[in-house]
Amino acid sequence: MENAFGQPQTVIVFGGTSDISHAVTLRLVKQRARRLVLAGRSADSLAARGAELTAAGATDITTVIFDASRPEQAGDTVTEAFDALGAPADLVVIAVGLLGDQLAMENDAAASAEMAAVNYSWPVAAIAEIRRRLIAQGSGRILVYSSVAAIRVRRDNYLYAGAKAGLDRFCEGVADSLVGTGVSIQVVRPGMVRSKMTAGMKDVPFTTSIDECADNIVKGLGTSAGVITSPSILKWVFLALLHLPRPVWRKLSATK
């Protein structure tokens, strides 16, 4: 069970091999998390991540393989993960995401569809099943990775940011539907983080390291905040950016 400080003991992570998500899980294991289910695409990377978590103090780690480009299978994947956990889930993390190369994909219908599937449809389908299970359980938290890019979509990453924006707004409605159920949902909006997902991209203002970002997220998990922004100053920066006239935003946000 989650304790008084919002520290979970049982955690399921979908997309558990991403750098940020792993750094967060590692911190949770150092607090109270002991029993975990890691779900991801590659058995090898899951095993490597699992070994690190075991070394940090996790006692019970199971892995589940899934493909986030197949939203129609999300319900089964969630069921498999809950069964593997075998206990009430205190925290369920949805960290799946695909950034991709916008310019290479924007004229490609199949690639665009995959971007929508991984960044929007799979999480939406998964949340439907997670939400149902946690409500029956009477407690639990869902943590969903969005992005500050979802606050105002820009020309250079609209496939990614547009899908994340959909997911982000979707979670607002889910949050309202959960009031009084004992279950809550929190959305994380990280700014630019130096990780393997952003390798080769140049730093923008307020870029953080993986560790800083993970610290901010874990801190947010200990609260009832509906949205966790990392670093928190970006909440105000993007509030301002959101109100810029479109032409100004277009020029300012152009990176190429």
- Near other proteins by CB under 8 A: residue from 205, 224, 247, 251: 224
Task: Indicate which residue of 120, 145, 158, 160 is catalytic.
Answer: 160
Region from 4-12, 46-54, 91-99, 205-213 binding other proteins, contact rule CB under 8 A: 4-12
Residues 189, 217: Cα–Cα separation, whole Å:
9
177 binds other proteins (CB under 8 A): no
- Near other proteins by CB under 8 A: residue from 19, 31, 54, 73: 31
- How far is Cα of residue 80 from the mean position of the Cα atoms in its chain? 19
2 binds other proteins (CB under 8 A): yes
Lookup: tokens for 42 = 């590659």
Where does residue 115 fall: left (phi above 0), alpha (psi -120 to 50 degrees), or beta otherwise? alpha
Shortest Cβ distance from residue 129 to other proteins (Å)?
16
Q: The sheet that has 35-40: what strands, in order across it? A: 60-65, 35-40, 10-14, 91-94, 140-145, 183-190, 227-230
87 binds other proteins (CB under 8 A): yes
Per-residue contact flags (x/-) with other proteins for residues 91 to 130, judged by CB under 8 A: ----------------------------------------
223 binds other proteins (CB under 8 A): yes
Distances from the Cα of 183 to the Cαs of 25, 96, 176, 188, 255, in angstroms?
20, 21, 11, 17, 40
C-alpha dihedral, 126 to 132 to 136 to 137, nearest 10°: 20
Distances from the Cα of 7 to the Cαs of 13, 32, 89, in angstroms?
15, 6, 12
88 binds other proteins (CB under 8 A): yes
Q: Please identify, using beta-carbon distances, which residue of 31 and 253 lies nearer to other proteins.
A: 31
Please answer whether residues 85 and 10 qualify as being in contact, where contact means their C-beta atoms are separated by less than 8 angstroms: yes
* Bridge partners, residue 13, by sequence: 38, 93
Q: Please identify, using beta-carbon distances, which residue of 31 and 232 lies nearer to other proteins.
A: 31
137 binds other proteins (CB under 8 A): yes
Known catalytic residue at 158: no
Lookup: tokens for 67 = 């493909």
Shortest Cβ distance from residue 34 to other proteins (Å)?
8
- How far is Cα of residue 217 from the mean position of the Cα atoms in its chain? 10
Shortest Cβ distance from residue 87 to other proteins (Å)?
7
Region from 69-77, 109-117, 133-141, 231-239 binding other proteins, contact rule CB under 8 A: 133-141
Q: Which residues are catalytic?
A: 160
Query: Which positions lie near other proteins, rule CB under 8 A?
Result: 1-7, 9, 31-32, 87-88, 135-139, 180-183, 219, 222-224
